[in-house]
Amino acid sequence: YSEAAKDAAQKAGRILRENIDKPSKIFFKGAIDLVTNFDNQAQEAIFKHLSSCFPGHDFLAEEGLNKEEAAGFRWIFDPLDGTTNYAHNFPIFCVSIALERKGG
């Protein structure tokens, strides 16, 4: 599990690093929370990687992804933790990924 999570985080991190100096499309999620197009690209990269490794697992991500298969495991992730910093070209951000074992 940890290797798959590490690989997924690296894929997302690569997208974020390669695009931090590029203009972002910024959207608001609620009154003050920002989302960029790169949040969504990083989320898609994580989901594609983990769902290909673990097709029967559940997924919950900050940018609106909620895929439930009634599996025993659920991946929970924030593809860009620190979006406000990222949107202002301040390089203090990370990719957060966790695996929850349901019922235990």
Distances (CA, A) of 82 to 8, 13, 59, 63, 101: 18, 12, 20, 13, 26
Bigger pLDDT: 1 or 31? 1
Tell me 42's DSSP state. H
Note the pLDDT of residue 31: 74
Averaged pLDDT for residues 46-62: 94
Lookup: tokens for 27: 């959207």
pTM above 0.85, yes or no: yes
pLDDT of 103 over the 70 cut? yes
CATH 3.30.420.10 assigned to 2-101: no
pLDDT digits (tens, 9 = 90+) for 26-48: 877 777 778 888 999 999 999 99
Bigger pLDDT: 63 or 49? 49
Distance CA 67, CA 85 (A): 28
